[in-house]
Chain A
Amino acid sequence: NAGVTQTPKFQVLKTGQSMTLQCAQDMNHNSMYWYRQDPGMGLRLIYYSASEGTTDKGEVPNGYNVSRLNKREFSLRLESAAPSQTSVYFCASSLDSNYGYTFGSGTRLTVV
């Protein structure tokens, strides 16, 4: 009964480095999401995938790319990390509009 699993939980990057945040869900949900949360800014949508094979930009997509690898997995890639990308990143999934989101435990990323 894992739900939504995110890895890693913590990461420190140097400016310019790249990394991929992994997310997997075992609930057979159709939609998956990546959010970032900064102090005082609430949750901001980076990218989402309404169904397997589709991805769409959210509110703050610049500097990020995503891959919906299959129905279970949705990864977020930072190609060249910047200090402005220091944040807590949450992955979420949803069956459909009647069920809301299930969130992963988050990744705390620091870019120095």
Chain B
Amino acid sequence: QKEVEQNSGPLSVPEGAIASLNCTYSDRGSQSFFWYRQYSGKSPELIMSIYSNGDKEDGRFTAQLNKASQYVSLLIRDSQPSDSATYLCAPWGSTNAGKSTFGDGTTLTVKP
């Protein structure tokens, strides 16, 4: 079993819809959780971080965390074609781990 599992893609949604990206992780000691966006041919870019159970909203993006279920998600409201990218879930390991573990990513396509 992989340490970080993301819903298999690709995911396609129409413009204006809500895109839902899911991630489960195995390290119960993880305290910080990050979502990165990677456009084709580019490097990953940090877009959201979440540390406590519940929701965190930033513009059209909402991150949700449930540590008991070891589950973190990213919702993109009013999806735009410019949101088309691969989204990487990356929990930071237990205290003193010194690093994140990345999921394989979910590729999102938003169709006009």
| Chain A residues at the B interface, C-beta cutoff of 8 Å | 31, 33, 35, 40-43, 45, 48, 50, 56, 58, 90, 97-106
Contact = CB atoms under 8 A, between A and B. Distances in A.
A104 B90 CA distance: 17
Given A90-B44, A101-B90, 18 more contacts: A40-B104, A43-B44, A50-B98, A97-B92, A97-B97, A98-B51, A100-B32, A100-B36, A100-B90, A100-B92, A100-B100, A101-B46, A101-B100, A103-B43, A103-B44, A105-B43, A106-B42, A106-B43
Nearest to B48: A100
16 contacts: A31-B99, A40-B104, A42-B102, A42-B103, A43-B88, A48-B99, A50-B98, A90-B43, A97-B92, A97-B95, A97-B97, A98-B51, A100-B36, A100-B100, A101-B90, A104-B43
Interface string B39-50: 000111110010
Chain B: interface secondary structure?
loop
Contacts of A45: 99, 101
B90 to A, nearest CB: 7
Interface string B57-74: 000000000000000000
B45 A103 contact: yes
A33 B44 CA distance: 13
Interface residues of B, number: 24
Contacts, number: 56
A55 B102 CA distance: 19
Contacts of B46: 100-102
B104 to A, nearest CB: 4
B49 A33 contact: no
A40 B9 CA distance: 11
